[in-house]
Structure 1
Amino acid sequence: MHWSIRNITARLALAGPLPRLFLLAYIAMISGCGDATAPERNTVLDAWAHAGQELERSTLVDQVLRFNAAHRDLRVRLTLIPEGSYNAQVQAAAAAGELPDLLEFDGPFLYGYVWQGRLQPVDRLLTPHLLSDLIPSIIAQGTYHGRLWSVGAFDSGLGLYADRTRLARAGIPIPTPARPWTSLEFTEILDRLAADDPDGQVLDLKLNYAGEWYTYAFSPLIQSAGGDLVERNGSGRATGILNGPETVRAMTIVQDWIISGRVDPNIDDAAFITGRTALAMGGHWNWSQYREHLGRDLLLLPLPDFGRGPRTGQGSWSWAVTADSLNPEAASRFLSFLLRPEEVLAITRANGAVPATRSAVSRSRDYRPGGPLHIFVEQLETGAAIPRPRTPAYPVITAAFQKSFDRIRSGGDVQAALDRAARMIDLEIEDNQGYPLIGRGREEAMR
Structure 2
Amino acid sequence: MTGDAPPRRSRATDARTATAFLLTAALVLAGCTGDGADGGGRGSATPGGDTTCDGRIDGTSQITVWYHSPTAQGELTTLRTQVRRFNASQHDVKVTLMTLPDGDYDAEVRAAAAGGGLPDLLDFDAPKLLGYAWAGRLRPLGSCLPDALRADLLPSILQQGTYAGRLWGIGTFDSGLGLYVRPSVLKRAGVRIPQGTADAWTAEEFTGILRKLREEGYEAPLDLGLRYSTPGAEWNTYGFAPAVWSAGGDLIDPKNHRTADGYLNGADSVRALTVLRTWVGAGLVDPGADDRAFTAGRSPISWSGHWRWREYAEAFPGDITIVPLPDFGHGTVTGMGSWQWAVPANGADPDAVWRFLAFLLSPDEVVRMTDVNGAIPATRTATERTAQFRGAGPERLYIEQLQNGTARPRPRTPAYGAVSDAFSRAFAKIVLDGAPVGPTLDRAVAAIDKDLADHRYYPPTGR
Instruction: Name the residue aligned to 1:30.
Output: none
AA of the residue aligned to 1:368: R
How much does 1:437 deviate? 3.0
Structure 1: runs of 5+ lacking an equivalent: 1-13, 15-40, 443-447
1:295 to 317, 330, 348: 317
How much does 1:198 deviate? 5.2
2:276 to 219, 242, 254: 254
1:269 to 269, 284, 291: 291
Does 1:192 find its partner at 2:212? yes
Instruction: Name the residue aligned to 1:182.
Output: 202
Q: What is the correspondence of 1:78-89 to structure 2 with a 5 Å cutoff?
A: 78-82=97-101, 84-89=103-108
- What CA distance in whole angstroms lies between the structure 2 residues aligned with 1:320 and 1:370? 34
Question: Do the aligned residues in 2 keep the contact of 1:224 with 1:306 (CA within 8 Å)?
Answer: yes
How much does 1:43 deviate? 1.4
Structure 1 runs of 4+ aligned residues shifted over 6 Å read none
- What CA distance in whole angstroms lies between the structure 2 residues aligned with 1:81 and 1:133? 31
Deviates more, 1:252-261 or 1:45-54: 45-54
Deviates more, 1:326-335 or 1:279-288: 326-335
How much does 1:245 deviate? 0.7
Task: Show CA shifts across 1:402-438 (max 9, x none).
Answer: 2211221222211111111111111111111101133
AA of the residue aligned to 1:141: Q
Query: How many percent identity over aligned positions?
Result: 48
Q: What is the correspondence of 1:324-343 to structure 2 with a 5 Å cutoff?
A: 324-343=346-365
Question: Do the aligned residues in 1 keep the contact of 2:63 with 2:348 (CA within 8 Å)?
Answer: no
For residue 318 of structure 2, give the secondary structure of its aligned residue in structure 1: helix
Question: Do the aligned residues in 2 keep the contact of 1:355 with 1:361 (CA within 8 Å)?
Answer: yes
- What CA distance in whole angstroms lies between the structure 1 residues aligned with 2:428 and 2:104? 25
Instruction: Name the residue aligned to 1:65.
Output: 84
Does 1:117 find its partner at 2:140? no
How much does 1:337 deviate? 0.8
- What CA distance in whole angstroms lies between the structure 2 residues aligned with 1:136 and 1:261? 39
Question: Do the aligned residues in 1 keep the contact of 2:179 with 2:304 (CA within 8 Å)?
Answer: yes
How much does 1:95 deviate? 2.4
| Alignment RMSD | 1.7
TM-score of the pair, normalised by structure 1 = 0.87
- What CA distance in whole angstroms lies between the structure 2 residues aligned with 1:322 and 1:268? 39
Does 1:127 find its partner at 2:146? yes
How much does 1:328 deviate? 1.1
Instruction: Name the residue aligned to 2:380.
Output: 358
How much does 1:300 deviate? 0.7
- What CA distance in whole angstroms lies between the structure 2 residues aligned with 1:84 and 1:374? 36
2:163 to 106, 126, 144: 144
Instruction: Name the residue aligned to 1:105.
Output: 124
- What CA distance in whole angstroms lies between the structure 1 residues aligned with 2:103 and 2:222? 29
- What CA distance in whole angstroms lies between the structure 1 residues aligned with 2:418 and 2:81? 36
AA of the residue aligned to 1:77: T
1:229 to 233, 251, 258: 251
For residue 179 of structure 2, give the secondary structure of its aligned residue in structure 1: strand
Question: Do the aligned residues in 1 keep the contact of 2:170 with 2:340 (CA within 8 Å)?
Answer: yes
Task: Show CA shifts across 1:362-382 (max 9, x none).
Answer: 000211121111111111111
Instruction: Name the residue aligned to 1:422.
Output: 445
How much does 1:289 deviate? 1.1
Task: Show CA shifts across 1:338-361 (max 9, x none).
Answer: 111110011111211111111100
- What CA distance in whole angstroms lies between the structure 2 residues aligned with 1:48 and 1:193? 46
- What CA distance in whole angstroms lies between the structure 1 residues aligned with 2:133 and 2:274? 36
Task: Show CA shifts across 1:210-254 (max 9, x none).
Answer: 311111111101101111111111143111000001111111111
Question: Do the aligned residues in 2 keep the contact of 1:172 with 1:189 (CA within 8 Å)?
Answer: yes
- What CA distance in whole angstroms lies between the structure 2 residues aligned with 1:406 and 1:413? 12
TM-score of the pair, normalised by structure 2 = 0.84
For residue 447 of structure 2, give the secondary structure of its aligned residue in structure 1: helix
- What CA distance in whole angstroms lies between the structure 2 residues aligned with 1:397 and 1:168? 40
Q: What is the correspondence of 1:215-226 to structure 2 with a 5 Å cutoff?
A: 215-226=237-248
Instruction: Name the residue aligned to 2:189.
Output: 170
Does 1:42 find its partner at 2:42? no
Does 1:412 find its partner at 2:435? yes
Count of equivalent residues: 401
How much does 1:84 deviate? 4.7
Instruction: Name the residue aligned to 1:383.
Output: 405
- What CA distance in whole angstroms lies between the structure 2 residues aligned with 1:267 and 1:76? 42
Task: Show CA shifts across 1:284-336 (max 9, x none).
Answer: 11111111111111111110111211111111111111111341112111111
- What CA distance in whole angstroms lies between the structure 2 residues aligned with 1:403 and 1:98? 31
For residue 123 of structure 2, give the secondary structure of its aligned residue in structure 1: strand
AA of the residue aligned to 1:194: R
Question: Do the aligned residues in 2 keep the contact of 1:50 with 1:83 (CA within 8 Å)?
Answer: no
Instruction: Name the residue aligned to 2:6.
Output: none
Structure 2: runs of 5+ lacking an equivalent: 1-11, 13-58
Deviates more, 1:41-50 or 1:266-275: 41-50
AA of the residue aligned to 2:206: F
Instruction: Name the residue aligned to 1:433.
Output: 456
For residue 418 of structure 1, give the secondary structure of its aligned residue in structure 2: helix
Task: Show CA shifts across 1:95-129 (max 9, x none).
Answer: 23232221211124201101110111111111011
AA of the residue aligned to 2:368: A
- What CA distance in whole angstroms lies between the structure 2 residues aligned with 1:84 and 1:242? 31
Deviates more, 1:372-381 or 1:81-90: 81-90
Structure 1 residues 198 and 286, CA gap change in structure 2 (3 angstroms): closer
- What CA distance in whole angstroms lies between the structure 2 residues aligned with 1:219 and 1:198? 27
Question: Do the aligned residues in 1 keep the contact of 2:254 with 2:411 (CA within 8 Å)?
Answer: yes
Structure 1 residues 132 and 84, CA gap change in structure 2 (3 angstroms): farther
Instruction: Name the residue aligned to 2:368.
Output: 346
